[in-house]
Amino acid sequence: MSYQIELVCKIGSMALINKAYGDVDYNIIARLSRELKPGYVLVTSGATEIGRIDYFKRNGKELEGGCKEDIKTDYASQGQIVLMETYRRFMNSSYSLRQFLVEHQHFNDEKKREHLKNALLRCPLANAVPIINYNDPVSDEENRKLEIRALREKHSGKAVAECVDNDETASEIACLLKPKNLIIFTGVDGIFTNVNDPDSLVKEISAKTASETVEKINYYQTFCSGASREGANGAGMKLEFIKQAVINGTIVFVANSKYSISEILSGAKPCTKIFISAQRTVKE
């Protein structure tokens, strides 16, 4: 089976930061950028943190005097420029780069979903690589909460996308485009039954049917708790977000960002691979 989109890949904020130096990790961005090609879609975090770093470099201090939400907005708007310029610098110069800033409304409104889908599907046809991020600079938290609440009341019983967490955004994009593969890069090698035991890595979650595979995902969610940092969702939520993509037939990898895309897809490095085995056999 042929796919218009080969891969949706998500990378988180902390993977793009060199903690030891408090700076952008150009090695990781360079390695990732060089692997991007038409048919790949990148969902990236990092604008807010990179904007903070950039502001500090230029001013010798962090932003002061505003509320937390306003400071986040200012950092994100500054960081978007740096983030995209850095991806462009290391990406193959023969490919075009296109940026898409999304919000929850682009997934909860049918016309906007279709518009976004068509725009993303045009990218490989135009030799272009799309990079997607949540539109933090213009997204006000209180307004967003009100909008989400109104949507839930209007569509009672129907799932509503929030997409503040880019794990969810990447999963929504995968559901929209139905790619062959979805990689969720994280700070560890995948899903563990015991986070303190590296030998407890779950290398595969699969079954013959969608319902059986979801049951297995539910089982492994019971081993997941907590998050790596404030404001982040843990491994359990990552598994929750990717369920529909798996049901749609996408092969999902939860993997460590220290490895390359090619190493994960080829099976050369450890990760957790999640798929419907019967569906995968038919497609391959």
User: In the chain, what percentage of residues exceed pLDDT 90?
Assistant: 68
Say whether pLDDT at 121 is over 80: yes
185-228: per-residue pLDDT in tens?
998 999 999 989 999 999 999 999 999 999 999 999 999 875 44
DSSP 3-state assignment of 258?
coil
Confidence of residue 278 (pLDDT cuts 50, 70, 90): confident
Could you tell me whether strands 23-24 and 17-18 are parallel, antiparallel, or unpaired per DSSP bridges? antiparallel
The pLDDT value recorded for residue 7 is: 98
List C-alpha distances in Å: 39 to 3, 35, 122, 151, 184: 9, 11, 10, 32, 17
Please say whether the beta carbons of 61 and 86 come within 8 A: no
DSSP 3-state assignment of 98?
strand
CA within 13 Å, CB half, 196:
0
Could you tell me whether strands 96-102 and 23-24 are parallel, antiparallel, or unpaired per DSSP bridges? unpaired
CB atoms within 10 A of CB 58: 9
Over range 41-56, report the average pLDDT.
95
Say whether pLDDT at 139 is over 90: no
Please say whether the beta carbons of 51 and 95 come within 8 A: no
Nearest to residue 260, comparing CAs of 15, 37, 32, 26?
32
CA 125 to chain centre: 23
The pLDDT value recorded for residue 224 is: 84
Instruction: Kindly list the structural domains of the chain, giving each domain's residue range(s) and its CATH number in brackets, ordered by start.
Output: 1-179 (3.40.1160.10), 181-284 (no CATH)
Q: What is the mean pLDDT of the chain?
A: 87
The pLDDT value recorded for residue 161 is: 58
Global pTM? 0.88
